[in-house]
C-alpha cells in the first residue's frame, strides 16, 4: 500500500481575494473549481504548474467571521528558485510576517492569517 499527497485544504473568508493573493505571491493558478448546487460552498484548487499537488481553498457561504487558527504552527512550505526576487516581491506586498536569516527562510501571511514558508531551492 502506498499513499501519495493529493492536496492540502484551507478555509478562506474572501475567495477571490485569496485566489488573487496566491497568484501574485506564489504564482499558483486555478486548476479546477467545484460549486455546490445549493451555493453553500465553493472549492477552488490551485496548482503550481509543475507538481500534481494542489492547494484547495474552501469558501463557505454562511461563514461570516475570520477563522480561529488557534495556537498550532501549521504551515505550507514553498521552495523558490530566486529567493532574493521572491523576498523583494513579498516585501513590496507587505506580507512577510517572520524572518529567520540564520536558517535562510522567511514566512508570508495570506489574507486569512495562514503562514507560508519560503525556502530557497537548495
Residue 55 has pLDDT above 90, yes or no: yes
The mean pLDDT of 91-118, rounded to a whole number, is: 96
CA gap 87, 37 in Å, rounded:
41
* Radius of gyration over every alpha carbon of the chain, rounded to an integer in angstroms: 15
Specify whether the CB–CB gap between 84 and 73 falls below 8 A.
no
Q: Structurally, how many domains does the chain consist of?
A: 1
CA dihedral 50, 56, 59, 65 (to 10 degrees): -110
Asked if the structure places residue 78 within a domain, the reply is yes
Q: What is the pLDDT of residue 109?
A: 96
Burial (CB count <10 Å: 0-12, 13-18, 19+), residue 103: exposed
Asked if the structure places residue 106 within a domain, the reply is yes
Residue 72 has pLDDT above 90, yes or no: no
- Looking at every residue in the chain, the average pLDDT score rounds to 95
Asked if the structure places residue 2 within a domain, the reply is no
CA gap 45, 7 in Å, rounded:
8
- Boundaries of domain holding 96: 7-64+73-120
Output the pTM of the full model. Answer: 0.91
Greatest alpha-carbon span in the chain: 50
3-state secondary structure of 49: coil
Asked if the structure places residue 33 within a domain, the reply is yes
Residue 1 has pLDDT above 90, yes or no: no
Instruction: Provide the pLDDT confidence category of residue 74 given band limits of 50, 70 and 90.
Output: confident
Asked if the structure places residue 57 within a domain, the reply is yes
User: Cell for 101?
Assistant: 536569516
Q: Any idea what the CATH number is for the domain that residue 14 is in?
A: 3.10.180.10
Amino acid at each position: 500500500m502506498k499513499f501519495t499527497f493529493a492536496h492540502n485544504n484551507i478555509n478562506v473568508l474572501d475567495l477571490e481575494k485569496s485566489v488573487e493573493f496566491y497568484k501574485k505571491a506564489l504564482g499558483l493558478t486555478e486548476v479546477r473549481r467545484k460549486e455546490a448546487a445549493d451555493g453553500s460552498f465553493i472549492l477552488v484548487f490551485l496548482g503550481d504548474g509543475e507538481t500534481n499537488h494542489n492547494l484547495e481553498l474552501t469558501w463557505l457561504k454562511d461563514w461570516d467571521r475570520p477563522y480561529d487558527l488557534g495556537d498550532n504552527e501549521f504551515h505550507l512550505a514553498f521552495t523558490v528558485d530566486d529567493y532574493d526576487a521572491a523576498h523583494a516581491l513579498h516585501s513590496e506586498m507587505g506580507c512577510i510576517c517572520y524572518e529567520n536569516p540564520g536558517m535562510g527562510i522567511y514566512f508570508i501571511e495570506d489574507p486569512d492569517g495562514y503562514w507560508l514558508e519560503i525556502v530557497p531551492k537548495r
